[in-house]
Structure 1
């Protein structure tokens, strides 16, 4: 149970760092950051592998880069939806 909580905290931090790099605000606050961190870790692992330090099952650098990519794409989608509305 503790490792699950640590993984969630690491995912939140990764999501926050990814959104800070891109400069977009994530919808959903902490929950949105957690989702961005988890999806970012998945994207980063798929694109970059598992190089660099690892914490709670996350390869930190690929996860942060993946989270930044995800937040950027999410920002483009939301910006496009706002223009249409």
Structure 2
């Protein structure tokens, strides 16, 4: 993985984490928190979507949507575990 790919990966994670934070909680988690939530969300969606047979296409916009959906799933699961 090149440096450019790593930078794009981090930027997509930050955007996805921020958007997921807005959707689920109403605000973001700070830069590092957004990056972590976005990257973990992308990993979750990367595992879940192929298992369900879902494909969102390719490109940066599709990657951001993919990561946002995974991050929202992650945040909802965390909220359910905390409230139980």
What is the TM-score with the length of structure 1 in the denominator? 0.70
The residue number in structure 1 matching 2:48 is 47
Instruction: Say if 1:75 and 1:30 are closer, same or farther in 2 by CA, change over 3 A.
Output: farther
The residue number in structure 1 matching 2:16 is 14
Alignment size in residue pairs: 77
Structure 1 contact 8–34 (Cα < 8 Å) conserved:
yes
Offset, 1:26: 5.6
SS in 1 for 2:57: coil
Offset, 1:60: 3.0
Q: Write out per-residue CA displacement over residues 62-85 of structure 1, whole angstroms, 9 at most, x where no aligned residue.
A: 2211011112223344556xxxxx
Looking at structure 1, the residues matched to 4 and 66 of structure 2 have their Cα atoms a distance apart, in angstroms, of 24
What root-mean-square deviation, in Å, do the aligned CA atoms of Structure 1 and Structure 2 show?
2.3
Looking at structure 2, the residues matched to 18 and 24 of structure 1 have their Cα atoms a distance apart, in angstroms, of 9
The residue number in structure 1 matching 2:6 is 4
The unaligned stretches of length 5 or more in structure 1 are 81-85
Structure 1 contact 53–60 (Cα < 8 Å) conserved:
no
The unaligned stretches of length 5 or more in structure 2 are none
What is the TM-score with the length of structure 2 in the denominator? 0.71
